[in-house]
Chain A
Amino acid sequence: MTKKILIVDDEPNIIISLEFLMKKEGFSVAVAGDGEEALAKVASFAPDLILLDVMMPKKSGFEVCEALRADPSNAGLLIVMLTAKGRDTEVAKGLAIGADAYVTKPFSTKELVARVKTMLGVG
Chain B
Amino acid sequence: MLSGWFIALLATGYLGLLFAVARFGDARADAGKSIISANVYALSLAVYCTSWTFYGSVGRATSGGLSFLTIYIGPTLMLLCVGVIIKMIRISKAQRITSIADFIASRYGKSQLLAGMVTVIAVIGVVPYIALQLKAMAASVDVLLQHSGSSVEVWGLDSTFLIAVILALFSILFGTRHLDATERHEGMVAAVAFESVVKIIAFMAVGIFVTYGMFGGLGDLFQRAAASADMERLLHLDSGRAGTWTALIILSGLAIIFLPRQFQIIVVENVDESHLKRAVWLFPLYLLLINIFVLPLALGGLLHFGAQGANPDTFVLTLPLARGAEALALLAFIGGLSAATGMVIVETIALSTMVCNDLVMPWLLHSTWLQAEKRQDLSGLLIGIRRAAIALILLLGYIYFRLAGEAYALVGIGLISFTAVAQFAPAMFGGMYWKQGTRAGAVAGLLAGFVVWLYTLLLPSFAKSGWMPSGFVEHGLFGLGWLKAQALFGLGGLDEISHCLWWSMLANMGAYVAVSLNSRPDAVEASQAERFVDVFRFDARNAEARLWRGKASPDALVGLLERFLGAARARQQLAAYALSRQAAGWRNLPADADFVQFAEAELAGAIGSASARVMVASVAQEEDLGLEEVLDILDEATQVRAHSRQLEAKQRELEAATNELREANERLRELDRMKDDFISTVTHELRTPLTSIRALSEMLHEDPRLDLADRSRFLGIIVNEAERLTRLINQILDMAKMESGRAEWTTGAVDLGEVVRESMASLEHLFREKGVALAGNIPASGPVVQADRDRLTQVMINLLSNAVKFVPGGAGRVQVGLSSAAGLVRVEVHDNGPGLTAEECNVIFEKFRQGGNTMTDKPQGTGLGLPISRQIVEYFGGNLWVESEPGAGANFIFTVPLPVPEE
Contact = CB atoms under 8 A, between A and B. Distances in A.
A86 B683 CA distance: 8
B853 A18 contact: no
A88 to B, nearest CB: 12
Given A33-B855, A108-B698, A17 B683 contact: no
A121 interface: no
A11 B689 CA distance: 9
Nearest to B687: A84
Main secondary structure of the interface of B (DSSP, over half): helix
Given A20-B699, A57-B853, A106 B684 contact: no
Interface in A58-107: 83-87, 105-107
Given A85-B683, A106-B687, A11 B699 contact: no
6 contacts: A11-B692, A13-B720, A14-B691, A17-B717, A57-B853, A105-B687
Contacts of B694: 106-109
Contact of B692 (A13, A57, A110): A13
B688 interface: yes
B710 interface: yes
A5 to B, nearest CB: 15
Contacts of A110: 698, 702
Nearest to A55: B684
A84 B858 contact: no
B696 A84 contact: no
Contacts of B710: 20
- On chain A, which size bracket covers the interface? 20 to 34
Contact of A17 (B687, B695, B702, B855): B695
Contact of A13 (B683, B685, B721): B721
Interface string A5-21: 00000111110111011
A10 B855 contact: yes
Contacts of B690: 105-106
Contacts of B692: 11, 13-14, 16-17
Interface residues of B, number: 29
A106 B693 contact: yes
Contacts of B680: 85, 87
Contact of B688 (A57, A87, A105, A109): A105
Interface in B668-704: 680, 683-685, 687-696, 698-699, 702-703
Contact of A106 (B691, B702, B859): B691
B696 A17 contact: yes
Contacts of B714: 17
A108 B696 CA distance: 10
Contact of A18 (B689, B695, B717): B695
> Chain B CB within 10 Å — which of A18, A83, A109, A110 has the most?
A109
Given A13-B859, A17-B699, A85-B680, A105 B691 contact: yes
Contacts of A20: 699, 710
Contacts of A21: 695, 699
A-B pairs, 10 with minimum CB distance: A84-B687, A17-B695, A13-B692, A106-B691, A106-B694, A105-B691, A84-B684, A109-B698, A106-B690, A105-B687
A108 B699 CA distance: 10
A96 B453 CA distance: 97
B256 to A, nearest CB: 78
Contact of B858 (A10, A17, A87): A10
A24 B705 CA distance: 12
B847 to A, nearest CB: 15
Contact of A14 (B684, B688, B855): B688
A84 B699 contact: no
A17 to B, nearest CB: 4
A13 B717 contact: yes
A21 B859 CA distance: 21
Nearest to B853: A57
A86 B855 CA distance: 23
- Most A CB atoms within 10 A — which of B688, B713, B720? B688
Contacts of B717: 13, 16-17
A20 B856 CA distance: 20
A20 B706 CA distance: 11
A106 B688 CA distance: 7
A85 B684 contact: yes
B98 to A, nearest CB: 81
A91 B52 CA distance: 98
A11 B698 contact: no
Contacts of A57: 853, 855
A108 B622 CA distance: 101
A16 B695 CA distance: 10
Given A86-B687, A109-B694, A110-B698, 16 more contacts: A11-B692, A11-B859, A13-B692, A13-B721, A16-B696, A17-B692, A17-B695, A17-B699, A20-B710, A21-B695, A24-B699, A24-B703, A106-B687, A107-B691, A107-B694, A108-B698
